[in-house]
Every structure is written in structure tokens, then in C-alpha cells.
Structure 1
Amino acid sequence: MALTNKVLLIFGTRPEAIKLFPVVHALNAVGGVDVKVLVTAQHRQMLDQVLDIGEVKPDYDLDVMEPNQSLDHLTAKLLTGIGNVLDQEMPDRVVVQGDTATAMVGALAAYYRKIPVSHVEAGLRSYDIYQPWPEEVNRKIIGTIADQHFAPTGVSAAALRAEAVSAEAIHITGNTVIDALYWVQDKIRANSALVSGLCDIEARFLGRKIIGVTTHRRENFGEGMDNIASALEVIAQRDDVGIVFPVHMNPNVRAIMDEKLGNNPRIALLDPLDYPHFSRLLSICHLMLTDSGGVQEEAPALGKPVLVMRETTERPEGVTAGTA
């Protein structure tokens, strides 16, 4: 990355924060770069947990989160809010990560001002615009705007080349989620109190195979969530397992899981875990069941297999390698 005077990193969700705090640290370690951080708080509480453990203090916070807001309402707020910050700061470069509304709108607002964009975790494709939805299209939009594409793997780099992105603009970097995971694992080893909140669960399921679960994808709302809950009921009939399930706060997830699974003694329904505690869950589990993209990368990095609860994935490398 060519050095510039001012770089603005824009993110708004927990996964973005996890994957960008190592980038913030790395840029701050480079002399001559004025690093600014704008968070949109598309996810409020879950974002704040990562900012704290990741030691990142935002320069701007749009605080746009509202319960069950529509994508068009969110997008409109993001576009005007990010635009106002860009007009105030006029950075030399904007950095976005992944596939969220915040990332897409951050790139679009920068494009409107002819500010170059760097895309972290570029080139992931499922080739189905409704799986994941709306993330697949968000990535494609960012890909048409960015002039620097930081692809995590050779597969993602090849996808970009197939879309006529010049080879000079593509940089295979690996995935920053692994940098973040190893960083927080080191912090846990130095201070076990960071994950003491799982001690009771670990004692409760001592001697059992722990199955970790996460689910939050929009395309699973409704029948998909019902199917996942029913499957977990069947799995929990085994007397050698304990299911640890941090349940997303979205009522489309929580209401179904509370109703179907709330009284099952072999299933621990928890509030969303902060980043250290979730890293601990990855460490102690036998396998992960998830529709998350990041978990498909994090769990195998700790030697844990993943069952992907989706019809498609933009991360086929895990399936090819046999880890997912």
C-alpha cells in the first residue's frame, strides 16, 4: 500500500471490527500516516465489545443502529453520515472490509468524491446474488470501485481477475481475521479472567463433546431458523454432547430459539459473547455449526471443523480443504 497522508478506515459491525483492528494497529505503526477511524455502529453493542478488546478508539461514531430497520433506510443514513465525515476529513484513501452495508456505502461515498478505496477481504464470491443476501452484491459493488483489492486467498484473487480486475491491483494478503484471532488468544493466555464467563458452561458440559452454534443470516430467517432449531433438538438427544449457542439479538433468531430450545438441559442458550469469550468457545468446541462467514475461517485456524448451515458459501476453500 503506497503511503498517503491520511487514511480513513470505515466499519460498523463486529466482524468488520475484528478484521480491521489489526489493520488499524499496523497503519498506526507506520510513520507518516494520519490514521482516522469512522464507525457507523451498524451493530452497536457487538461492535463496542471488539473496539474495547481491540484497543481501537474511533474518531467518528455515527451510531446508526435501530431495531429491525430496513436496508434502504439504513443505506440512506449511512450515505449521508459517511458523506459528511468524508467532506470534513477529505482523506487520501478510504479502507473498507468485507460485504456489509457500511462497507458498500463507504466505498460509494468515497467514489462520489473521487477518493480511492482499498478493499480488505476482496474477491469472495458465491455467484448467487441472494446467497448471501445482500452481501454478495455489496462485495461486487465495492469491487467495481476499489483500486486496491486485498484478496485473502488465491481463489478470491482468481475471481477478481475473472472480473477483469488488473493483476497489479490485486494483493493476496491472507485473512486479517486470523491475525485478530491469534492476537486475542495471546491476550487470553496472559489473562484467563477475560474468559471466566464460560467457566460454568465448561463445568456443566465436562466430559461431553461441545458443539458451538451461531446463526444470524437473513436468508435463514423463518423456515431456515425453524429447521436449524429442529436439527439442534435432534442432536441434543445424544447423551455425549453439550450445545453452546450464543443467540443473536435479532428477534427473527432469538424468538424461535428461545421457544424451541430454551428448556433443553443439553443446550446452553447464551447472550452474544464478546470476542474473547467467543474465541474461547472456538478453543473448547468439538466442532462448529454456523452460517457465519468469519467462523468458517476462524474455527479451522484452531483445528476445529465447521458444518456450514447455508445453501452456498463465498468461502469454498474450506470445503475444498475438508475443514468445512
Structure 2
Amino acid sequence: MSKKNTGKIGVLLVNLGTPDTPETPDVRKYLREFLLDKRVIDINPVSRFFLINGIIAPFRAPKSAVVYKQLWTERGSPLLYHGIDLKEKLQASLGDGYHVAFGMRYQKPSIKSALEELREQSVDRIIVFPLFPQYASASTGSAHDKIMEIVKDWWIVPSINFISDFCNDPGFIESFAELGRKYLAKENYDHVLFSYHGLPERHILKGSDHGYCKLGTCCNSYNKRNKYCYRASCFETSRQLAAALNLSEDQYSVAFQSRLGKDPWLKPYSDEVLKTYPEKGIKKVLAFSPAFVADCLETTIEVGEEFKEMFLEAGGEKWQLVESLNSNDTWVEAVKQIVLQN
């Protein structure tokens, strides 16, 4: 029996992924799936296979498992439960004319299961919303790639609209600014650091519009030629956030974290920059991670704890992480408005 056309619009929220548990075998499984993605480590497939399976996953998994155990809560992985909470709140806000599903690019719940959920609802069309504010081939591009890989086997493929970035969306900016103002109202911070997840420089250059990217002043403005440049998007988010927080240019910095391997990654590196602050008289720092809309290992542990320890050891006095947007009401409304605009 054929399903009745519901007239609903499907919304697919996508985030990166998380291990099923913080135990080493599950962490190893997650790392293998993640790092074997050709858009994440863009080298020869044979070399990538042996690098991941022979070196990185076996040796990194036990160390990462220790960190994941620090992150884990009674509800499990924050990236997962914040995503589920966002889905449920967005569903309630959008109402019966929409069906919201949530999937992860790696591990569970999978993008495939989320798409099947939308297909079961017989939605008229699908709005794909990867929860990555700044476009990168290794995140947004990979999610788009996976979705097209899945739906190509559907007999009927509905209209699909991809949201590729929202780095300067007013609602997104205000959601982070609102959280930052809460801390700025309580303490006089010497400086604000906007720390973004790093990427290899070659990823940026590969996506450059006919050589426009120079990994330099080309990111001083955000325009049609660098709209999909991750570095330019990070600087644009920072400019918009600084304006919303009434920060002058000398009151904030932009840096990049979480590099892997020996190849050059986007600079400056957050862990190196923060160590220079105390000698410059910067003793109190408010840190944001605006590449992440949900708290995870890179925000809570890396920026919130590891960077704090480095800063204090270098002579700093106070390091405060601004939590991510998670599923707070301002962010839910921002997501709703982005969906409605699309």
C-alpha cells in the first residue's frame, strides 16, 4: 500500500560523530571511519589505509579513550545528546508541517538511518543542515557527499536543499554573543580568543577560487570568491562576534587548534599563541570555540581544560571557556529561522 503524501518538509540535522562508548575498541572504530574519509585525509588511498590502520588508530585510540572518559556523562557523549535535544526542540518549534531528523557523519545515529526516517515520513523535500558554521570540505563537504551517495540508490529522490554555511548568520552570531556577554558582565577580561578547529593548509589552497587564496590578507574581507574558504569564514565569524561584543581589533585574536601530523596547518596555532599572552600582560582570557555548535572533546577538554592548564603554567591567572550553543533557546530559534529561510 502506498503511503499518503504528507506535504511535510524534512529537516536533516547533521553533526560529525562520536564513538558509541569511551572504550578503546569503540574509539578505534570511530577513528578509523573518520580518518579513512578521503575528504579528511586527502592522500593516496593505499597510503591512507596503512597510515590509519597501521599507525594512527592503533596508537591513538587508547590515548583518546582516556580523554573521552573524562568527557562522558550519564547521558553519554555530549555531542550526541545535545544533538538529540536540538532536534526535539526544533521539531516542537517548527510544528507538524516539518519532520526533523538527526544523523552523524560517522557512527550512530547514521545519516542513512536519519534519511530513512525522513523517507518513511514521505516528506516532499529535504533541507540538509550540517551543523558546521564554516564550510570545509572535510566536514560540510563530506556530509553532502555521504548524503548524495545514499540517495542515489533511491528510486524517488525528493528535492534536496543543502545549507552549506552560516558563519555570519545573525542568529548564530547572537547566540554565541549572548553567552559571551554573560561572562564579560561578571569579569574584566584582558583578551578574547576565538579558537577554531584547524585544517591542513593544502585543504584551503585546493578549494581556492583560481588562486585567490594566499593564506593571508585575502581573508580580511568575506566575499563571493572566498565564501567557501574555511579560513575566511572563521575570520568573518570572529569579526561579527567581536562587533556583537563591542570588542576592538586589539582585544581579540583568531587561532586554530587540533592539528595532526607534520604538514603545515592553519596558523597561528592556539596552543602556541596562548602561551605568549602572560608576557604581554594578558592574564585573564575568555575563550570561544565558534566552529562547534555543541560541546565536545575539542571544546570541553581541549580548550576548556588543556588550554587552561597551558595558560596558567605560562603565568596566566584566569582562563574561561564559553560553552557552546548546544540546545539553548536562542540557538534553537536561530536554527529555525535558517531552516525557514531555506
**TM over 0.5: same fold?**
no
Give the alignment's TM-score, normalised by structure 2: 0.39
Larger RCO, structure (CA 8 Å, separation 6 or more): 2
